Structure 1
Amino acid sequence: MAKLLPQFARWTPAALDILRETASRYGAVITVSDLADQVLVRTRVESPTSRRTWLGDFMEITALAAARAGDPPLTSLAVQRDGTVGDVYARAVLATTGDVVRDVETRAAEDRLLCYRALATDLPADGGVPRPAKVRRASSSTTSPRPGRARAAVETKPVKVCPTCFTALPATGLCDYCD
């Protein structure tokens, strides 16, 4: 069973929203890393530890939350940079259905199709087919500004959280409640 961090309570609803948005576009996927980045930005709740220590557990908890909410298996949309889901998704399937998956990539492709059929606004007339995930790289025109045009950079930093009571810390870095 997944280890619970207090931050998961704030992160999970944000992850579900992001995954539902992803499922609204037929064939769309999101990398696990991009999902984590977006969750931290949206919630403004930082992790006290490295992602490697919590990301697998977070994906499992998100899968359980999706199942409880009656959503299709949304975590099938979260892939590695190479388009695979790997063992993390096998854990999510086991936690939500009790199924031990032999071919996790085929299962993920079938589950992604369930997501698109439930939420995509651009589903093909034939209902689509299960297929491997394709991670689209941003084109150079979207990743760098055109010469002569300056883009305003908006930087949002995650909120630092008190490790004792998990409230947002003021600029002093000292918790108003614990110190």
Structure 2
Amino acid sequence: MGDDVTDVREKWASEAYIVLLQVARTYRAVITYKELGEDIQERSGVRTQALLQNWIGAVLGKVVREAHRRGDPPLTALVVHTDDGMVGNGYKEVLEVAGLPPVQDVLERELHAADARLECYRKFSLDLPKDGGSPALSPKHQTAVERQRARVTEPAAVCRSCYLQLPSTGVCDSCG
């Protein structure tokens, strides 16, 4: 049984590599874990009833190591969660294989992944902008970041005399 699982993961990793190369051909493209899982099962002809989260990490780990061995950029940076557009916790393997320290800060991890995606596009993209492109968060995550920034409101107005926060009328209750 163990050898069968290893063979299946190797087959899925090979298919994942091909799929990720295709994704990297389009500037700023990403693929979700769910889409990748479906694609590699379809392409390989080997399906599983196991939850995606129980096997995709091992497959992507093989892709990380193969990309490093080939001298390719970390293609797994192109894989993001459906709900938030962020790379998964397994992205730490990209850093580990590259000999970099782990990143605890989520935004720092996402920025590293954005740089890694740009490397992928620069090597494989068929539609790279003439200026070489720029790193970017995934579209879904970028939208969430912008939405959060928009929620940050202006500081409350304060009275120039007593420095208390002004009510919505704009007239200080203490100073009139």
Q: What is the TM-score of this pair, normalised by structure 2? A: 0.69
Is the Cα contact below 8 Å between 2:74 and 2:116 reproduced in 1? yes
- Structure 1 residues 47 and 98 mapped into 2: Cα distance closer, same or farther (>3 Å)? farther
Return the offset for 1:22: 0.4
Report the residue type matching 1:16 in the other structure.
Y
1:124-144 C-alpha deviation (Å, 9 max, x unpaired): 111111110125xxxxxxxxx
Report the residue type matching 2:124 in the other structure.
L
Q: Are positions 1:118 and 2:126 aligned together?
A: no
Aligned residue number for residue 43 of structure 1: 44
Aligned residue number for residue 172 of structure 2: none
Aligned residue number for residue 77 of structure 1: 78
CA–CA distance in 1 between the matches of 2:76 and 2:67?
A: 8
CA–CA distance in 2 between the matches of 1:93 and 1:34?
A: 24
Report the residue type matching 2:139 in the other structure.
K
Report the residue type matching 1:47 in the other structure.
T
Is the Cα contact below 8 Å between 1:56 and 1:88 reproduced in 2? yes
Between the aligned residues of both structures, percent identity stands at: 34
Aligned residue number for residue 59 of structure 1: 60
Report the residue type matching 2:14 in the other structure.
P
Aligned residue number for residue 171 of structure 2: none
Aligned residue number for residue 108 of structure 1: 113
Aligned residue number for residue 135 of structure 2: 130
Is the Cα contact below 8 Å between 1:101 and 1:107 reproduced in 2? no
Q: Which has the higher contact order (CA 8 A, sep 6+)?
A: 1
Is the Cα contact below 8 Å between 2:24 and 2:120 reproduced in 1? yes
Look up the SS of the partner of 2:73 in the other structure.
coil
Q: What is the TM-score of this pair, normalised by structure 1? A: 0.68
Is the Cα contact below 8 Å between 2:34 and 2:52 reproduced in 1? no
Look up the SS of the partner of 1:7 in the other structure.
helix
Is the Cα contact below 8 Å between 1:85 and 1:108 reproduced in 2? yes
Is the Cα contact below 8 Å between 1:59 and 1:92 reproduced in 2? no
Aligned residue number for residue 156 of structure 1: none
Larger-Rg structure: 2
1:103-159 C-alpha deviation (Å, 9 max, x unpaired): 211110000000000000111111111110125xxxxxxxxxxxxxxxxxxxxxxxx
Runs of 4+ in 1 over 3 A off after TM superposition: none
Return the offset for 1:48: 6.0
Aligned residue number for residue 5 of structure 1: 6
Return the offset for 1:37: 0.5
Report the residue type matching 1:43 in the other structure.
S
